Structure 1
């Protein structure tokens, strides 16, 4: 992917990976548009990054996605990069009762929202000389975290959808990438001070470097072992991983 001269729409751009990625791409001479549900947070980010634009978007709401898709096409005709980054993560218990509100929110935001947004923008992206869709999944798509089974499942589903999307767009100008972060120091599960997680700016710097290559999967080094796990014997590492997480940090 070329790293400058793009018009880029990033969902979930008010905090964490989304904001840091938006700011890094903004500094590389791209027109960046971020989205989120809270106008005050959008204003804070754009205020700190003159020239960046923002649009309110509720990823759980199909009508909001349709309206924002139409507005993006009208207001930013050179839009050529979509980054599906918005996501929510909650602790759950797959061996007990499910919280219906949590289930609906997580599936709608992490899976249905990206699918709907792609559908709203893909015909426009096909008309661009060069375009990119980046779906942000997670290493938990490949090694699920049992205490967040619903989140892990949505990321596994997004990985599967991304592979189908890549095949379907293989004869077009649209390249499909998957960004699978490891554990990063963000607000997700209050991980900003988590010593076992990757520092956010270190993650962003390595991610930008990989984005600039000709790759379909954007993986930092810390993500590679978990990405490589799926296969006939994958449960052994899944079991070990979750046993480790169940212990208090040393």
Structure 2
């Protein structure tokens, strides 16, 4: 993926990694459209960050995705990058279905069906562009599980395999598939996570991501150094030790 000269839509970019990525890409000469559910929040983001366009979208709602796609493509027919950023993470206790089923369904709808529906809404347009990129967002937890977030771990493993598969499926169409694999990053993905000392500071993460995008335009995965401990645990042969370390060090691992 080229780091500049693109028109990029990032649904789910009203905070955290999504907003940081939107601003970083805007600053490198891209036209960036940010999507989110709350119109008033989008208005605040647009006012505070000149150069960002916004569109209202709920990635759990197929009709909202279709309407947003029509709006984005009408205003930005040169769109050539889709970043399927939206995602949720929930702490779950699977010892009782009353405590986890609704959460698990929400996570899968947002984290798995959301990207699938987004890609379906934009892939025909991206193919017509002839030089386009779909960016998916998985997680280090796709490769090593955190005990208290089963559905999140599984959803991100699904995103990883979806990325691998559609990259093969779209080969020769001019549409690249680039997977961003974050480690734990200090955002509001879980309550208190923005101050989690185990997690990577957001600005450090984004600086490394941008540097990798600039240095590796043909990459299929963007892995900052800190996520490699998780990403390659099985290949290194220390998977069990890494699982134990992750679940001992994360402050959420003692809950429930």
Q: CA RMSD in A?
A: 1.6
Residues 63-74 of structure 1 mapped to structure 2, 5 A cutoff: 63-74=63-74
Indicate if the aligned counterparts of 1:13 and 1:86 stay in contact, CA closer than 8 A.
yes
Q: Give 5+ residue unaligned stretches, structure 1.
A: none
Deviations 1:215-237 (A, max 9, x none): 10001000112110235763443
Q: Give 5+ residue unaligned stretches, structure 2.
A: none
Residues 118-197 of structure 1 mapped to structure 2, 5 A cutoff: 118-189=119-190, 190-197=192-199
Deviations 1:84-135 (A, max 9, x none): 1111111001333243332221111111010010011001001113111110
CA distance in 2, matches of 1:165, 1:86: 19
2:225 to 193, 216, 221: 221
CA distance in 1, matches of 2:104, 2:250: 22
CA distance in 2, matches of 1:123, 1:203: 32
Residues 1-250 of structure 1 mapped to structure 2, 5 A cutoff: 1-97=1-97, 98-189=99-190, 190-212=192-214, 213=216, 214-230=218-234, 234-245=239-250
Indicate if the aligned counterparts of 1:94 and 1:146 stay in contact, CA closer than 8 A.
no
CA distance in 2, matches of 1:53, 1:181: 25
For the residue of structure 2 that corresponds to 1:133, the secondary structure is: strand
For the residue of structure 1 that corresponds to 2:55, the secondary structure is: strand
Return the TM-score normalized by structure 2.
Answer: 0.92
| Equivalences, count | 248
Judged with a 3 Å threshold, the aligned counterparts in structure 2 of structure 1 residues 240 and 95 are, in CA distance, closer, same or farther, namely farther
Indicate if the aligned counterparts of 2:167 and 2:177 stay in contact, CA closer than 8 A.
yes
Deviations 1:18-39 (A, max 9, x none): 0010011111111100111111
For the residue of structure 2 that corresponds to 1:109, the secondary structure is: helix
Return the TM-score normalized by structure 1.
Answer: 0.94
- Which structure 1 residue ranges, 4+ long, deviate > 4 Å from structure 2? none
Indicate if the aligned counterparts of 1:180 and 1:219 stay in contact, CA closer than 8 A.
yes
